[in-house]
Amino acid sequence: MNWNALYDRLRAEAPGLELRRDEPMSRHTTFRVGGAVPIMALPKNEEEVQRVLSVAAMEFGIKPFFMGKGSNLLVSDGGADLLVMKSCDGLSRLELLPEGERPGHRTILAGSGVSLARLANFALECGLTGLEFAHGIPGSVGGGAYMNAGAYGGEMGQVISSVSSVSCPDQELVREHVDPEFSYRHSQFQGGDDFILRACFSLKPGDPAEIKAKMDDFAARRREKQPLEYPSAGSAFKRPAPADGQPVYAAALIDRCGLKGLTVGGAQVSEKHAGFVVNRGGATCGDIVELMAQVRERVLRETGVTLEPEVRYLGMEGEEWNF
């Protein structure tokens, strides 16, 4: 791949587009690990998104890697040979739409680069309830929709009414996905070619004092139970399938196996919350992958449950999780 030629074409096609060469991904993931990518594009608006996709697909035959805040991403120490397109810090449209046809609801439109914390605060300002759970999730609207992010019984799929996207092959066509199909930590966008531009959230009016109290309660629970003082990607593993109709939690299984505090290099199973793998300082991607592999093997051996990573992995072509 001629990255210099791609960089020059992107610069010519979109003069105002922010482009970075050999950008360390450790600056863009909440794990604070990851090697460099040859080009990172940070579009500020939808027109720049479409221009990047047009050059990448039509002229160079490549699909960029799409990312938001990097809060659910683990990047190889060797980086990745990819054009990365990051929505955060751009695509920041945020507004309350006029009343629609759904009785008792109002709609907020949010660009994919809007942080979930900002979105939740905006809903509070508008006196709308339903997004309190999202206030403490360190992700963006685009990433949250992509992963169907959730916490404390709430999920993005419960409040998203539509998603607008463009795809790499058809970058000029904006698709509207009404009532997208969501499931646990999954959306129809995973494994596809769509770059999420924005999403609409259907919310009910509520008492601002009650909304604020709920957000404060969730924040207090996070501070009490989660290792927020260390870089991490949140929950390292997905919730396993229920057993005999009863919910099963990855953190409880890991704790039961005595794995709190297990360390590989600078990576550690949090001593505060067994569901978190944290960077105690100087951790590499290799440390984190090896630690998660050990946790997965031990839990399977002692409980018979196979844990599935919730974190997405990005590496060089052919690189995969080593378990």
Of 14, 6, 74, 70, give the one whose Cα is nearest residue 44.
14
132 included as an active-site residue? no
Residue 127, token pair as written in the block = 């006196």
* Dist CA 220 CA 243 (whole Å): 30
Q: Is 185 a catalytic residue?
A: yes
Shortest CA distance to 152 belongs to which of 140, 139, 136?
136
| 140 secondary structure, DSSP code | B
Alpha helices in 114-266 (DSSP H): 116-125, 141-147, 208-225, 250-256
Residue 99's Cβ-side half-sphere holds a number of Cα atoms within 13 Å equal to 5
Name the CA radius of gyration of the chain, rounded: 20
Containing 291, the helix (H) or strand (E) segment is helix 285-303
The catalytic position among 46, 132, 155, 310 is 310
10 Å CB burial of residue 211 (0-12, 13-18, 19+) is: buried
Cβ contact 198:112 at 8 Å: yes
Catalytic choice (185, 222, 239, 298): 185
Catalytic residue among 232, 235, 270, 296: 235
**Active site residues per annotation:** 185, 235, 310
